[in-house]
Amino acid sequence: MRKLLCALALVTAVSAHADDVTWKVGATIFADYTNTPDASAFNVGRAYVNVTGTLHRRVAFRLTPDISRETAAGSQQFRLKYAYAQLNLDRWLTDGSFARFGMQQTPFLDATEQVYRYRFQGTAFAEREGYLSSADTGVTMRYLFPGEKGDVHGGFYNGEGYTKPESNDHKAFQVRATARPWKPLRATVFAVSDRYDGGEPRNRLIGQLTYEHARANAGVEVLATDDRALEGRGWSAFATPKLGNGFELLLRHDRNQPDRHSDVVRKRTITGVAWWFPNLQKATAAVMVDRDSLSVTGKADDTRYGVKMLLVF
pLDDT in tens, 48-65: 999 999 998 899 999 999
pLDDT at residue 15, as a whole number? 43
Domain-located, residue 224: yes
Whether 308 contacts 291, CB under 8 Å: no
Question: CB neighbours (10 Å) of residue 9?
Answer: 10
Please report which confidence band the pLDDT of residue 98 belongs to, taking 50, 70 and 90 as the band edges. Answer: very high
Q: Which residues contact 31 (CB under 8 A, 6 or more apart)?
A: 42, 43, 44, 45, 308, 309, 311
Whether 100 contacts 83, CB under 8 Å: no
pLDDT at residue 77, as a whole number? 80
The larger pLDDT score, comparing residue 281 to residue 141, is at: 141
pLDDT at residue 187, as a whole number? 98
Residue 1 has pLDDT above 50, yes or no: no
Q: Which domain holds residue 131?
A: 98-312
> String of b and e for 273-295 (b: at least 16 CB within 10 Å)?
ebebeeeeeeeeebbbebebebe
Domain-located, residue 281: yes
Average pLDDT over residues 98-115: 97
pLDDT at residue 10, as a whole number? 40
pLDDT at residue 12, as a whole number? 41
Amino acid at 4: L
Average pLDDT over residues 266-292: 97
Domain-located, residue 3: no
Domain-located, residue 46: no
Domain-located, residue 147: yes
Query: What pLDDT, in 10s, does the model give residues 145-200?
Result: 999 999 999 999 999 999 888 888 899 999 999 999 999 999 999 999 999 988 89
Considering its fold, how many domains does the chain have in total? 1
Average pLDDT over residues 93-106: 96
Kindly report the pTM of this predicted structure: 0.89
Assign residue 268 the CATH number of its domain: 2.40.160.10
The larger pLDDT score, comparing residue 13 to residue 74, is at: 74
Domain-located, residue 47: no
Mean pLDDT (the chain) is 91
Q: Which residues contact 23 (CB under 8 A, 6 or more apart)?
A: 51, 52, 53, 54
Q: Look at residues 209, 26, 28 and name the one whose alpha carbon lies nearest to residue 120.
A: 28
Q: Which residues lie across from 60 on neighbouring strands?
A: 54, 86
Query: What pLDDT, in 10s, does the model give residues 8-35?
Result: 344 344 444 556 789 999 999 999 999 9
Query: What pLDDT, in 10s, does the model give residues 220-265?
Result: 999 999 999 899 999 999 999 999 999 999 999 999 999 999 999 9
pLDDT at residue 70, as a whole number? 65
pLDDT at residue 260, as a whole number? 94
pLDDT at residue 71, as a whole number? 60
Domain-located, residue 289: yes
Domain-located, residue 92: no
What torsion do the CA atoms of 164, 165, 168, 174 make, to the nearest 10 degrees? 60
